[in-house]
Structure 1
Amino acid sequence: MKYLFLFFISTALFAQKKKNLDSLPALEKLIIYNYTPRPNHGYILTFYKKSSIPKVLKKALKKRYSNFRIANPGKKFRETDVVSNAHLPPRQLLFTVRNANYCSVVYRQGGRSLGTYFAFSEIIDNKVTLLHVYYLSGPTINTYDDFVNAIRQGNFSELSF
């Protein structure tokens, strides 16, 4: 009886998650569509250096955050709000993903709690025409595959500024 109850609970939670994915806004559906690999979709490029972030996107992020300092993957950054070295950047790049006109910067940000975020942008004619920042929930994101799985499962929510 206990296992039957757990089965119904897990089925109900899965159905609820599926319903939430179907009711996502158009922008979130665009993100899922762009980063879900499929045949004849074109190239999805992944970069692992902060120099791969387009300059126009860096400028837009600096404008949004007033200061967007970021460390390369594997380099030290301020993981907590306990400031042991104020000169370290508060973010660490995980990777940058590019697909056609779309570019996302996936990074960890320290503070009261360590979290994973991504900035989704559309760049046309060297201008950022769309920029939204999302928080990724769920398991830790370390690779592009982890990122795609989190996106497909709808484990992201937009930050409001």
Structure 2
Amino acid sequence: MKLLRQALVALLTNLLVLFLVLELNSSISPLGIYLTIGGILVVYPAFSLSPVAGMPVVLITGFMWGATLPLPLGVLPFALGVIYAGLFRMRNRFRSRRTFHLATVATGSNLLLLIFLGIWFFPSSGWSPYLIRFLLETLLSEAAVFLLSFWIFDLQERCVDLLGAQPTPDEMT
């Protein structure tokens, strides 16, 4: 039951973040800017949940987010799943679970996702204006992920504490 509560907290906070960022994207769309925040969506499940709960949370979030983008079905869940798997394998190497370190990892994960999506959408010719826009969106997305992650990770931890669903070290493997 504890595992289900942890997964629901992660899924609902991911969907809340996704909703808020999609609303922000719709308000700044006249400027031609789109923020990508995938790094936030995979760090908490990778560092705080077991793979039985973490991978479904990441995949469901990826499918929900992918439904709003002009991508083929499954590209975004695949990318988020690969990033999740890499972070899950490396989570024992990160000694600190402080919010600043998680924000830094989320920023790096988001950069990997942006590079993947940039390669996916890269045009074969006329790439100069695309490159400038890609760099601008990458810079703004990284700043948004870093600043937003402090609030999101604290919200997720607080919700898990309020529900009494803190995982034990045995449950995280």
| Global fold match (TM > 0.5) | no
Taking CA–CA contacts closer than 8 Å with sequence separation of 6 or more, which of the two structures ends up with the larger relative contact order? 2
Highest Rg: 1 or 2? 1
Given the two structures, how large is their TM-score scaled by the length of structure 1?
Answer: 0.26
Q: Which has the higher helix share?
A: 2
Q: Which has the higher strand share?
A: 1
Given the two structures, how large is their TM-score scaled by the length of structure 2?
Answer: 0.24
